[in-house]
Structures are given as C-alpha cells and as structure tokens.
Amino acid sequence: MDAIRTHSAARCAPALLLVTLFLSSMGGCAKSHPIDLRPIQAAYTNGDYRGAYDQGHAISESPIQPLSARQKAAYFAGLSAYRLNNLDRAQQELTLASQSPDKQISADAKATLGLVFDAQGRYGLASDSLMDAAQTMTGQDKANAYFYAARAQQKMGRWPVARTSLSMALSNSRDPAFRARVQEQMRITGFTIQTGAFEVEDNARTAAEQLANKVASMRLGRPRVVASVDPGSQRRLYLVQVGQFTSWPTALQARDRIATTKSIIVPLAGT
C-alpha cells in the first residue's frame, strides 16, 4: 500500500504493481494492441508524479478503454495526484480505482483515499475508507490502515473506537518503531491550541498573560506554560497553550476565534 507506507515512520519504498493490459482496438478489429502501464509505474517510482498522473489520467478518462484498464490506470494517477497535493484529482482517480476487482489495487486505493479525505478534513469518510481497506489487507499494511483510521477517529472525538483501532494496529505489526508510535498515539486524550514556543520561560509567561486577556471571554480557561524539549535540536522550550478539546473541529473553531498567526492545534497526551 504505497501511500500508507510512505506515511509510516519507516518510510518504506513503494511496492507498486507491474501491470500490462491488453486492450481491444477501436472499430471492431479482431487484433488487440497491448497497452503497457509499466512506463506509468516507472514515472511514479522515479518521482515524475506529473508525468505519471498525465499518462494515467489519459487512460482512466478514455471512454474507449475497458473499465478494468481505466481502474488500473486511475490507481497510478490517483497516487500521483496525492503526491502532487492535488486532493480533488486524487479523490476522483482513487474512487475509480477503489472499485477495481483486483483486491490489491482496490485496497491500496481505498487506503490512500482515506488519507485524501483526512487531508480534506473529512474525517468520517477517512475512517470509513481506511477501515474498509484494512479488511482485505495483511501484515504491516493492515496495521498502517488501522493506525491512520484511528487518527481520523480521534479527530472526530471517537476515542473508544480509536483505541480499538490502535489495538488492531498493534496486533498486526512486529515493527518496534511502529509499535512505539502506536503506543504514543494511544496516550493522546484530546487537543489544545498552541500559540507560541519560547526558549526563555519569562517570555512564555508574558505571552501567556497577554493571551489570557485576549481569550478571557471565550471560556477556554487560563493559558498555561508547558515545558518541553524540541525533538530535533533537543533545546528546552516553553510552550504557551490554551483550551482542551475532544475533537479537531471544535479546536479548529477556537483557533480561528483566537486568530493569532502562530496558533496551531496540537495533541494533548496523558501520562
């Protein structure tokens, strides 16, 4: 499952299909002409996502091609569009590919479609698509699908369901790094708004006081200063955070009301 793999901690190399299609020619001729999808795959594997999309889309949209050929071409076009961050085109292509009778193509397409929905903020559809994909997957692919479904479920505030999905992710993976990531995700209990990160604690406390005056009427509670360590530089940081939310949309609404340029939504983790 290419897109899910590339989102995992290990960043596994894509394992794409080698597909050669034989399509009937126009005009009722008895002779068939082979259409080889390997150049599209090669373009995708080499990072030429625009070329892979253009070639795949040309076949997926062709009314003269058999449906099965269009679905397989749409698979590569959809993966490429997702890599290009063209979510609307990715959704269109992957929806067609997800209907393929080829179970591997269908499952991969559904999983990537779930990531597309998640990026669009459509968390219910993301969860449904990823859970559907997980049913026909095996091993680490199955674990990855459950993991990303759980993240979408957490964003919807469906915490018990998300915990079940994370447990399924654990039970289907033997990768220590991935299992640690799942266990870290299990610690998340909600979301908060972070308005700044400071190396000097006094600066963070001054910013928190200024924020308190701004949000006093929003019923978000008092801003707090949280000590942390930057994972990249290992520098000590002091984070200014406010509010506790059970779902991503409610946190997003509050962030928009606060309207500070540096505000981001971050997870809240239990002990």
CATH code of the domain in which 14 resides: 1.25.40.10
* Residue 3 confidence (pLDDT): 57
Same domain, 262 and 180: no
Which of 130, 159, 186 is where one domain is finished? Answer: 186
Same domain, 197 and 177: no
* Distance of alpha carbon 151 from alpha carbon 106, whole angstroms: 22
Alpha carbon separation from 205 to 149, 182, 198, 262 (Å, rounded)? 37, 33, 9, 16
* Residue 5 confidence (pLDDT): 57
Same domain, 170 and 103: yes
Q: Give the residue ranges of the chain where pLDDT is below 50.
A: 8-32
Same domain, 118 and 230: no
* Residue 47 confidence (pLDDT): 96
Sign of CA dihedral 120, 11, 94, 61: positive
* Residue 271 confidence (pLDDT): 63
* Residue 266 confidence (pLDDT): 95
Same domain, 132 and 195: no
Which of 143, 158, 186 is where one domain is finished? Answer: 186
Same domain, 179 and 53: yes
Task: Give the count of domains, the chain.
Answer: 2
- The answer to whether the predicted template modeling score (pTM) of the entire model surpasses 0.75 is yes
Of 116, 107, 42, 130, nearest to 84 (Cα)?
Answer: 116
Same domain, 203 and 100: no
> Which pair of structure tokens corresponds to residue 186?
């299990």
* Residue 231 confidence (pLDDT): 84
What are the tens digits of pLDDT across the range 77-114?
999 999 999 999 999 999 999 999 999 999 999 999 99
Same domain, 182 and 192: no
Print the domain residue range for 240. Answer: 188-269
* Residue 11 confidence (pLDDT): 34
What CATH code is carried by the domain that includes residue 245? 3.30.70.1070
* Residue 148 confidence (pLDDT): 98
For residue 228, count CB atoms less than 10 angstroms from its CB and return exposed for 0-12, middle for 13-18, buried for 19 or more.
middle
* Distance of alpha carbon 249 from alpha carbon 252, whole angstroms: 5
Same domain, 218 and 203: yes
- Summarize the chain as % helix, strand, coil (round to 5): 55, 15, 25
Same domain, 178 and 193: no
* Distance of alpha carbon 245 from alpha carbon 181, whole angstroms: 22
Which of 171, 186, 201 is where one domain is finished? Answer: 186
* Residue 28 confidence (pLDDT): 38
Same domain, 85 and 204: no
> Which pair of structure tokens corresponds to residue 270?
């239990």
* Residue 35 confidence (pLDDT): 72
* Residue 182 confidence (pLDDT): 98
* Distance of alpha carbon 101 from alpha carbon 95, whole angstroms: 13
* Residue 17 confidence (pLDDT): 42
Do the beta carbons of residue 168 and residue 186 sit within 8 Å?
no
Same domain, 149 and 215: no
